[in-house]
Amino acid sequence: MKSILITGGNGQLGECIQSIEKQFGNGNTFSYLTVDDLDITNPSQVASVVDSYKPDYIINCAAYTAVDKAEADKDLAYAINAHGAENLAKVCKEKEIILIHVSTDFVFGDAPPIPLTEEMTAYPSGVYGASKLAGEQLVQQNMDNYFILRTSWLYSEFQNNFLKTMLRLGKERDELSVVFDQAGTPTYAKDLAEVILYIINSGSNAYGLYHFSNEGVTSWYDFAFEIFKLSNTAINLKPITSDQFPTPAKRPNYSVMNKNKIKQNFDIQIKHWTISLAECIKNT
């Protein structure tokens, strides 16, 4: 039986792990820590808390995820996403703990319109993506026994996300405009949680950087269209371009990830995003 510590345990992914723990936890012991329990930006607290729990694995779900606010809050974004990850990596190296660190497709800013592989050079276009890329690099520099999982367009029935926002706006408005010129793949956080637990249960030492999202490609407009269709929400949905909806942080125009590496190394099948979305809406 393994001991597993989850940082950011009350966030979207942490809650998803908790929701499937009994089904996929394999009898392991899970400890979900909030920022009040563990501030990963505090190196001495990281060392003390980890020494107290003595985990075999740490799943780092703690992150600064406010993409637009990060543009004006650079120091805090880097403190959490970069140096927080570094603090965990150093303790994991010292204590021989395996680290599973969650990252993002935002490390690719103006990427070419081809499926993005782990070997491709990342060029973030904003503070959030740059801070997450720095976190990846600091993990890689400070330890060897890690799994870094980049994911994209994460949603679930928990916390705040695009799905929850669309469902709320669908009740409040008769008309809504959503950008159609940004392509990516929605990812059900429960599917990501399952893969994380599968990696742990496998005992694999195929450490490294991996891409994981659901299958398929869509735009934010089409994602919203499917949400309203599956939830039987009547609304006049209009497609607009990114320049018609300016934001402080520039979003990637194309962030569809190639998932061949994780599928081959762990022999997993990945659901199409529409199938997972339908499952999530049933649970919402």
**Residues belonging to the active site:** 128
Write the single-letter amino acid at 42: N
- Beta bridge partners of residue 215, listed in sequence order: 272
CA-nearest of 249, 6, 273, 270 to 106 is 249
Residue 236 class from Cβ within 10 Å (0-12 exposed, 13-18 middle, 19+ buried)?
exposed
Give the helix ranges, DSSP H, for the chain. 12-24, 43-53, 74-78, 85-95, 127-142, 162-172, 189-202, 220-230, 260-266, 273-283
Looking at residue 203, the DSSP 8-state letter turns out to be T
Through-space distance between the first and last CA atoms of the chain, rounded to whole angstroms: 32
Q: Could you give the CA distance from residue 63 to residue 222 in angstroms, rounded to a whole number?
A: 27
CA-nearest of 32, 4, 39 to 18 is 32
Q: Could you give the CA distance from residue 272 to residue 79 in angstroms, rounded to a whole number?
A: 35
Q: Are 108 and 252 in contact (CB under 8 A)?
A: yes
For residue 173, the tally of other CB atoms under 10 A from its CB is 10
What are residue 252's phi and psi, to 5 degrees?
Answer: -65, 135
CA-nearest of 24, 37, 28, 33 to 2 is 28
Instruction: Give CA 280 to chain center in angstroms.
Output: 16
